[in-house]
Amino acid sequence: MLLEGQAIAEIDGVEYPITAGDITFIPANLPHRFRNVSTTEGMKILWNYASIDATRTLLGTGDTRSIDDEHQAPVAT
Return the higher-pLDDT residue of 6 and 71.
Answer: 6
Q: Model pTM?
A: 0.75
- For the segment 37-62, the average pLDDT, to the nearest whole number, is 88
Q: What is the pLDDT of residues 32-42, one digit of tens each?
A: 999 999 999 99
The more confidently predicted of residues 70 and 51 is 51
CB 37 within 8 A of CB 6: yes
Measured in whole angstroms, the distance separating CA 4 from the mean position of its chain's CA atoms is 14
Number of H helices and number of E strands within the chain?
A: 1, 7
Per-residue pLDDT at 73 exceeds 70:
no
50-62: average pLDDT: 83
| pLDDT of residue 62 exceeding 80 | yes
DSSP lists the bridge partners of residue 9 as 16, 34
